[in-house]
Amino acid sequence: MSAPLAMAADARGLRLLGAPLRGPGAVQGESQFQNPHIIRYDANCFTINGRDAFIFSGAFHYPRCPRALWRDRLVKFRRAGLNTIETYVFWNYHEPEEGHADLGEFEDFIKLVKEMGFWMIARPGPYVCAEWDAGGFPHWVVAKRFPLRSNHPDSLKTSKHWFNQVLPVIQRHQVTMGGPIIMMQLENEYDYWKLPDGEKKEYVRALAQMAWNAGIDVPLITCWTKQVRERSDADLARLMDTCNFYPRWNIQKEVPPALNKLRHEEPASPLGVTELQGGWFSEFGGKLSVDQDGVVGAQLNLITKTVIEQGVTYFSYYMGFGGTNFDWAAKRLTTTYDYAAPLREPGGLWEKYYAARGIGVSLGLLGSVLARAQAPEQATQSTNKDVSVSERVGGQSGAVFVRENANQEQRFKMSFQDSASPTHRTITVPRQGELTLGPREMKMLPVQVPIPGSQLRYTTAEVAGYGLNLDRHFLIVYDEPGRAAEVAFATQQEPEVEGDALYQYWDEDYESVTIGLRIEKAEKILLVNNHLLLVAIPRERGLRSWTAEFPPSVVPGAEETKPMTVP
């Protein structure tokens, strides 16, 4: 968790979003991975079972949720598009009395995570923070009164004792053993613990050696642990450090500089964010989480798209689901650990969940593009100084990021690179009029991305869904009512567009049709070349619209052999 809560313990204080690997020769540093054919990473992303992966994760602490509700929460994570679950493993929860450890609940949770099709990130500490009593250290450890989180012999001895209990569980459920665990974190935000660098290095090294000796062969990570960024140390160079971010609205000042620093200091690792602000906790005498500033759905949308724009290919919302502080584990904090997370404490869905789901839909379309995407040399442009435009390109596809920077509504045109053009031609949109962005709004827009039944050249409205419905494909886009939007498709013939379009252009040289339309409060449907339905709907409805896939055998009158997708 956050630095202010990284207190001294003695004060008690799998749907894959990825693409096939292009070839083994492109991978650097495989020797640091024991099973590189199963899992490894490079400067861009993780590669799991031969496919480049975009890790979209949420934190879920199983002790903060009744076991009977685990499945419900995981179903909702899945339907938001997440592919990974992250959890702490609290030492004092599993071994409140010395020598009497029970990891059965943790193992049951791992099994359910796998059953539900997720990957998993395990964070066993020994210190974890998490607004949890003593940061997870049992009271019987604290009572021994040796320097915690240090390379003191007693600290190493007790850390090894805990690892001897928890690591065998993690080891047998690693992805290399057929399980869901793809990485394990050592310690937690160690930068904020006051010890000399030399001692910190030796403690982290000792924890890593314990893990490797116990058969942990998935990547080991840390967060806010600058000692791991020392690339001249052979052991520490095998670890991957990451950032945690809780900036509320101060996103641009805090996030890009920290990620640039991480990229400079960890050039061989993908940019990762172990804790991306999913809300904040509540304390006695303070505001409840949902009443605090800077933890709403619009902030989640802005911070998430900002880290993706910066090249992050692994992030986890802290929290994805907060839950409840039962019994003894969170002194000074409220019983509710709702956290204003995307999933509320009772399991309800609210605007923040739908913001996360919108990002999940976009990553379903763009995850494989973004895993190895780079910023093109050709600059993007905006006609409005308060609107920034950037682009990331992977192969012949890309994503354009558009951000409002002055906290008020803006109108503008923008230009970006056509990622599929051999000449890297510039596309300027819209053809007529201007686009609109609201205060602090940010969009992540696909460019030259294949969709069922067509090639999406670009869209200035975000994508809510796509698929095949009987004999017609469909694309659903959304934006605020009253705004103009522009969508372009590939077509080799002069297009036929039926419906209420503002305008349309046929570019024979580039085999493209560009369609202008206005978003209304009710849905608007256009038919392109008699086989592609373009459906435009308002944002609120778009984020709450779902698609379901049915086999043709259950659809009356279906003549297709492919599954039918119903929006």
Buried b (16+ CB within 10 A) or exposed e, 122-140: bbbbbbbbbbbbbbbbbbe
Q: How far apart are CA 499 and CA 521, in angstroms?
A: 16
Q: Is the peptide bond before 319 cis (omega within 30 degrees of 0)?
A: yes
**Token pair for 266:** 């960890």
Catalytic: which of 187, 189, 266, 345?
189
Q: How far apart are CA 343 and CA 278, in angstroms?
A: 10
**Token pair for 470:** 């009987």
C-beta of residue 125 within 8 angstroms of C-beta of residue 171: no
For residue 202, indicate whether it is catalytic: no
Q: How far apart are CA 32 and CA 28, in angstroms?
A: 9
- What is the number of alpha carbons within 13 Å of residue 532 lying toward its C-beta? 23
Phi, psi of 135 (to 5 degrees): 60, 20
Q: How far apart are CA 64 and CA 133, in angstroms?
A: 13
C-beta of residue 84 within 8 angstroms of C-beta of residue 182: yes
Q: How far apart are CA 146 and CA 142, in angstroms?
A: 8
Q: What is the three-class DSSP state of 410?
A: strand
Q: What is the three-class DSSP state of 38?
A: coil
Q: How far apart are CA 220 and CA 205, in angstroms?
A: 11
Q: Which residues, including other chains, have CB under 8 Å from residue 264's CB and lie 6 or more apart?
A: none
Q: How far apart are CA 329 and CA 88, in angstroms?
A: 14
**Token pair for 474:** 């469909």
85 membership: H or E segment, kind and range? strand 84-88
**Token pair for 234:** 């052979």
For residue 230, indicate whether it is catalytic: no
Phi, psi of 137 (to 5 degrees): -70, 130
Q: How far apart are CA 335 and CA 284, in angstroms?
A: 9
Q: Is the peptide bond before 430 cis (omega within 30 degrees of 0)?
A: yes
C-beta of residue 280 within 8 angstroms of C-beta of residue 331: no
Catalytic: which of 95, 131, 187, 275?
275
Q: How far is residue 153 from each of residues 310, 340, 371, 439, measured CA to CA in Å?
A: 42, 41, 42, 55
Show which residues are catalytic: 189, 275
